[in-house]
Structure 1
Amino acid sequence: MIGEEMSFKAKELVRLSTTKPALPLSSHMHLFLLCVLFLPAFFLTVSEAFCNPQDRESLMWFSGNVSSSVTPLNWNSSVDCCSWEGITCDDSSESHVTAISLPFRGLSGNLHSSVQNLHRLSRLDLSNNCLSGPLPPGLFSALDQLMVLNLSFNSFNGDLPLEQAFDDGSNRFFPIHTIDLSSNLLQGEILSNSTVIQGAINLISFNVSNNSFTGSIPSFMCTSSTQLNKLDFSYNDFAGIIPQELGRCWRLSVLRAGFNNLSGEIPKKIYSLSELEQLFLPGDIPMDIGNLSSLRSLQLHINNSTGSVPISLANCNNLVKLNLRVNRLGGTLSEFDFSQLQRLSALDLGNNSFIGDLPDKVFSCKSLTAIRFAGNKLTGQISPQVRELESLSYLSFSDNNLTNITGALSILQSCRKLSTLIMAKNFYDETVSSNEDFLAPDAFPNLQIFAIGGSRLKGEIPAWLMKMKSLEALDLSLNDKV
């Protein structure tokens, strides 16, 4: 009736406007009457744009099961839920909820099953909160429009609710492209007959690191998801061998599976992944690792690896980070051509069994900001070439057999950005100059941590230490009269 009345009034106004009025009306008054008469119809249209009632009810159930240590969500039932914090709706006439984004909100409680009624939901981000409990059964198959799921850095527990394949052999396809469940308390196996994983043909990133998953590495997704760019299974309890099928993820740039219970060799197919930039796996370092020319980060630390550093690794000239610490690697480093690694920023070869002189070629890597050779059996002296590393801020070569502490300090004082210098357990039985003029007035301008303990050094406590104005931590322990 209201609509009909408005239509009648509008038609009457048009009729009146085409006839000569009894009294003259200005054009401004005419426009005013039009606006006044059509204003109620405008508000009627807007009032019909409230979010879908079922979606609104589902959100209210969700909010009733969470609380915030920061501030309450303040989802006011008298306000359109499309205007609530963290909520996005589509432009349809029913205004369905398409996204929930509430990271870093201090939320505790659990993920209520009502969220599964949000059938148009394409993004769910509840990362970096304190949510706990199991994930609702059927979560993935119910939210079959979901494209991004990020529940990382919470305390969700239990098995991953991935439905198994249908008995009739039919297939379902899911548009999801990003799954991040890292840093939770999830457990159980990720089985190969999961309908969701098999149907996620657009999957780009899959991260389940830092949980308690068991069983085999779920490599079957490399068959159905040809766009996969990132796989992270690290810090779990996966066992068995590293599957050959991972080599089918042709577009993979990040592969991480370290800190599990995996065994065996790294499959050779992985070294044909031309776009691989980050590799974090257990196992010995293959001699042909240099085939990964796009590799930017190689992290094989704490893997009980043996042997030497492959010469071919120098061909990975895009390397930015190389971490081989805490293994049983040995041999000399003098034959390795560090000069090809001009993009290398962080190098950690600590806690191995390398012998021979400290490799001078490492100082030809002009981009280095951090170097760690601690815990080896290296000999020789610090090379003056270290002065060429203008960005060097961290240097540790403790627990080796280097000599000439006087020369080392004279050279290293020129490294202007050096903030950490750990050279303990070296220079055994040498004498340290205590002369205040031993170092330049502006020596070590940014040094905050300095350790020369455990070396049986002789002499008095050096007066030149007073020149280190930025010093915060000093270790002179286990020396002779120092």
Structure 2
Amino acid sequence: MEKKFYCVFVYTFLITISFLMLSCVAKQPMSLATDQTVLLSLKQHITSDPSRILAMNWTNSSSICSWIGVTCSLRHHRVAALNLSNMALSGTIPPQLGHLSFLIYLNLKSNLFHGDLPQELSLLRRLKFISLRLNNFTGDFPPMFGQLPKLEYLNLRNNSFIGSIPKSLSNLTNLQFLDLTSNSLSGEIPKEFGRLQSLQTLAVQFNRLSGAIPSAIFNISTLVVIALRSNELSGSLPTDMCRNLPFLAGIYLSDNQLSGAIPTNLSQCSRLEVLSLPYNSFSGEIPSEIGYLTSLEKLYLGGNNLNGTLPHEIGNLHSLVEFAAEHNEIGGSIDFSIFMNMSSLQNLYLWRNKFTGNLSRDVGNITTLTILELSENHFTGTTK
């Protein structure tokens, strides 16, 4: 789900950037010469260029608008995009990079850049897109990102940033995509994030965040993905969490310390495709309202304290591919007929619960199943 949105966003953004492309004339204007100085400074800070891409291409013998990874704007004759992704480059980011004052797009993903990010990047007031994912950047999370008023896309996934998420990010009212996954961030999710009323993807997985999920997050009506798994988040989910989330397609909250009941108004998230809540401390029964999520493809509820019985309404989930509710306290007999109309169901995990009674031979009629795990229950046999 996250990958699908990422691809659509990047494709749309690059279409926009393509209109800025220009092959500059050999005689460069003074402003472009300034950009050249900045890029040569960046080149000097790169300590490893294994494919010698910049070493062979970024030279004074050619216009910087023809350099690999550089795109110049047609209107201003300045560097508008810098894309050095997937080049295995190693080095640091010089403060001079902040002087690329017409830069709109910055993509350094999948390299080996390291060290702190310079405060001077806050001078890039035209920036709309930043991807620094899959590098080795360190230091406190840079608050200067909150000073980039036009930013729409910020991806810092898989780095080593520490500290708390700055409240200043809530200034980015145009932000649509935020991914801070796999860093070492701590503290709480700022309640001020409720101001991000253009946000579509919020991904802050595999960090050390604590505290409750701010209720204001669930009032961002544009949200498509909420991905906060593998943190130390606690508290309960709002009972009306889906009231203002008409476009929500993915909820990823596994491996936290969330508790309380699963909200009954989940049916209002009518476009939900993935509901992932395993390995928390949710209690109570599986709400029957889940059965009205007709777009649901994956439902993960394992490793909680759920009890009661399986709601018959689950049989309405004709798009469901995988259902996991293992390691709970769900009991009673299983009416396997509720699964027989699930034309997409492939994997069913109900092991380590308190199911009782006879194990009906109807389970053999669920022809789409490839994995069925029912071990560690209290079945007494098979009906005739």
TM-score norm. by structure 2 comes to 0.76
The Cα offsets for residues 194-224 of structure 1, whole Å up to 9 and x where unpaired, read as 3xx244332111111232211122231432x
Equivalent in the alignment of 2:345? 418
The Cα offsets for residues 370-415 of structure 1, whole Å up to 9 and x where unpaired, read as 11001111112222212222211111111112223531x2211221
CA distance in 2, matches of 1:352, 1:155: 38
> 1:243, CA displacement in angstroms?
0.9
Higher deviation after alignment, 208-217 or 447-456: 447-456
The Cα offsets for residues 126-184 of structure 1, whole Å up to 9 and x where unpaired, read as 9xxxxxxxxxxxxxxxxx9443333334533332344377xxxxxx4433222222233
> 1:236, CA displacement in angstroms?
1.8
> 1:115, CA displacement in angstroms?
2.8
In structure 2, give the amino acid aligned to 1:328. Q
**Which of these residues, 233, 247, 253, is aligned with residue 318 of structure 1?**
247
Is this contact kept in 1: 2:140–2:161, CA < 8 A? yes
CA distance in 2, matches of 1:263, 1:120: 41
For the pair 1:116 / 2:58, whether they are aligned, the reply is: yes
1:203-352 alignment, distance < 5 Å: 203-223=127-147, 225-281=148-204, 282-283=209-210, 284-314=212-242, 315-333=244-262, 335-352=263-280
**Which of these residues, 354, 369, 375, is aligned with residue 447 of structure 1?**
369
Structure 2 CA distance for partners of 1:453 and 1:180, relative to 1, 3 Å: farther
> 1:241, CA displacement in angstroms?
1.6
Question: Which stretches in structure 2 are left out of the alignment for 5+ residues?
Answer: 1-20, 28-48, 71-76
Structure 2 CA distance for partners of 1:216 and 1:124, relative to 1, 3 Å: farther
Higher-RCO chain (CA-CA 8 Å, sequence separation at least 6): 2
SS in 2 for 1:163: helix
**Which of these residues, 151, 160, 171, is aligned with residue 93 of structure 2?**
160
Is this contact kept in 1: 2:128–2:153, CA < 8 A? yes
In structure 2, give the amino acid aligned to 1:203. L
The Cα offsets for residues 107-134 of structure 1, whole Å up to 9 and x where unpaired, read as 96343334323434278459xxxxxxxx
Is this contact kept in 2: 1:326–1:351, CA < 8 A? yes
Is this contact kept in 2: 1:395–1:420, CA < 8 A? yes
> 1:432, CA displacement in angstroms?
2.0
Structure 2 CA distance for partners of 1:153 and 1:290, relative to 1, 3 Å: same
For the pair 1:392 / 2:334, whether they are aligned, the reply is: no
Is this contact kept in 2: 1:345–1:370, CA < 8 A? yes
For the pair 1:150 / 2:83, whether they are aligned, the reply is: yes
Equivalent in the alignment of 1:132? none
CA distance in 2, matches of 1:394, 1:249: 37
Equivalent in the alignment of 1:358? 286
CA distance in 2, matches of 1:174, 1:164: 9
Percent pairwise identity: 26
CA distance in 1, matches of 2:67, 2:308: 57
Structure 2 CA distance for partners of 1:288 and 1:91, relative to 1, 3 Å: closer
1:373-388 alignment, distance < 5 Å: 373-388=301-316
Aligned residues: CA RMSD: 3.0
CA distance in 2, matches of 1:205, 1:122: 21
For the pair 1:202 / 2:126, whether they are aligned, the reply is: yes
SS in 1 for 2:65: coil
CA distance in 1, matches of 2:178, 2:231: 16
> 1:255, CA displacement in angstroms?
1.4
Higher deviation after alignment, 283-292 or 413-422: 283-292
CA distance in 2, matches of 1:91, 1:214: 36
The Cα offsets for residues 211-260 of structure 1, whole Å up to 9 and x where unpaired, read as 2211122231432x322101112222111121121111110011122332
Is this contact kept in 1: 2:79–2:100, CA < 8 A? no
Is this contact kept in 1: 2:197–2:220, CA < 8 A? yes
CA distance in 2, matches of 1:405, 1:148: 61
